[in-house]
Structure 1
Amino acid sequence: MQKVYGSAAEALDGLLEDGMLIAAGGFGLCGIPELLIDAIVESGVKDLTVASNNCGVDGFGLGKLLDTRQIRKMMSSYVGENAEFMRQYLSGELELEFNPQGTLAERMRAGGAGIPGFYTKTGYGTQIAEGKETKEFDGEMYVLERGIFADLSIVKAWKADTTGNAIFRKTARNFNPPAAMCGRICVMEVEEIVEPGTLDPDHIHLPGIYVNRLIQGTHEKRIEQRTTRPRPAAA
C-alpha cells in the first residue's frame, strides 16, 4: 500500500467531512501536526469535535481552527495559553469537555486498543464525574470513562519509514502515539521519511499498522514560552 503523499492537502483528500471527530497529537506547540492543521483550515470543513490536550496558541496550531470557527467542541485538559479558546468557551460559543490529562491520554489509548471504557479514580467526587457511572472496587470509588474512537487522527513524528513505522523525538512523544492509535484513519506528518529497514525496530514508538497516510514537510517549531536568564555582568 502506498502511504506517502506529496502534500498535506493530498493526504487529507477524501477524509474530511463536517461534524467529524478528530484526534490531534501534540502538547502545547510541541509535536503538533501544523501542516495538517493548515490543510484542514484551508478545506473549510466545519462543526468539528477535536480531542487534543489543548488548542495551540492564538493564531497558530489548532488555534487557527478556532479563529475560523471550524471547531464546535473541544475535548481537552488545558485551556491556558490561548485567549481565544478561553473567550469562546466563556461566551458559550465553544463546547468544552474537560478531561484530566492522564484520563484523556488513556481514553485515546483505550480507543486504539479497542477498549470501549475503563474505570479510573481520577475525578471521582468532582465535576468530572457528574453524569458518569461510578463503581466501587475494593473499597475505592471509580469513574467510568469512555474510550475515544476518532474518525481521523492527525499526528507529527520526527522520523518514519515509508510504511509508517515512526519515532517521536523527546517531548513530542506525548499525545502523538495514543492519538494516532485511536483514529479509524491516521494521517502523519514527519520531518524525515526513510526506507524500510533503516530504523532500528527497538526504537520504533508507533508501528506502521496504525498509519494510513504520511507526508514529509518543513516545520516552524515555535517556542511557546521562551525563558532565559539575564547575561552575567562583566567582571
Structure 2
Amino acid sequence: MESYYPIMLKLAGKKVVVVGGGRVAERKISGLIATKANITVIAPEISLELQLFVKTGKIEWLAKIFSDEDIEGAFLVFAATNDRELNQKIKDATEANSLITIADDPEESDFHVPAKVQRGRLTVAVSTGGASPTLARKIRSQLEQEFDERYEDYLNFLLAARQQILQEVKDPSLKSKLLNQIVTPQFLNSKNRLADFQALYKELIHH
C-alpha cells in the first residue's frame, strides 16, 4: 500500500478548479474560501450557497458543461460531480503537474482533504486515506472537545512568547526551558498568560 505525505499548502493566488455544483462541491469550496485561492467552479447549475459565494466575489462560476481547457494550469482540481464517467474524464484531462481529488474514487486521487479542527493558528487534521470519511469526522468531533476555543488565543500567546524568547535568550538550555514551560496546562488555563509569562521569564533569567 502506498502511503500519503501529509502537507499544509499555501494556496493564496493559486488556481483551483472545482467541477460540480452540488453538496460535495459546496463542502470543498467552503473549506477553500479562507485560503485566498483563485477558485473557479464549473457546472451548469450550482447550489444556493455557491451562488452566494459568487455574488460576494469569493469564487468564479463558469455555467457550463466541463471541457478539458477548464482545468488548464490548475494547481488543484476537485472532481466533485455525481457522474463517475465525467469524473474519470476530468481525471484524464488533468495535466501532469496538477493534483486531483475525485469524489467517488479515492484510489485514483492524488490527494484527500482531511477532516480538520481549526482553532486560529492550530490545525489538527485527520485522514483515513479515503477509507472512511465518516470515521475521520467522528474522530474530528472528539478532537473538537479536546482542543476547544481556548486554543485560538493560546496559540497567539505562544507565537508572541516564542518570538520574544528566540530574540532575547541566547543560552540554549534556558531557551529550551522557557519554550517547554509555556506549553503546559498552567499557561493554557491561565487567566493572564502574559503576566504569568513575564513572571516566569524574570524568574528563570535571574535564577
What TM-score, normalized by structure 1, do the two folds share? 0.31
Between Structure 1 and Structure 2, which shows a larger proportion of helix residues?
A: 2
TM-score (norm: length of structure 2):
0.34
| Bigger Rg, structure 1 or 2 | 2
By relative contact order (CA 8 Å, sep 6+), the higher-ranking structure is 1
Which has the larger strand fraction? Answer: 1
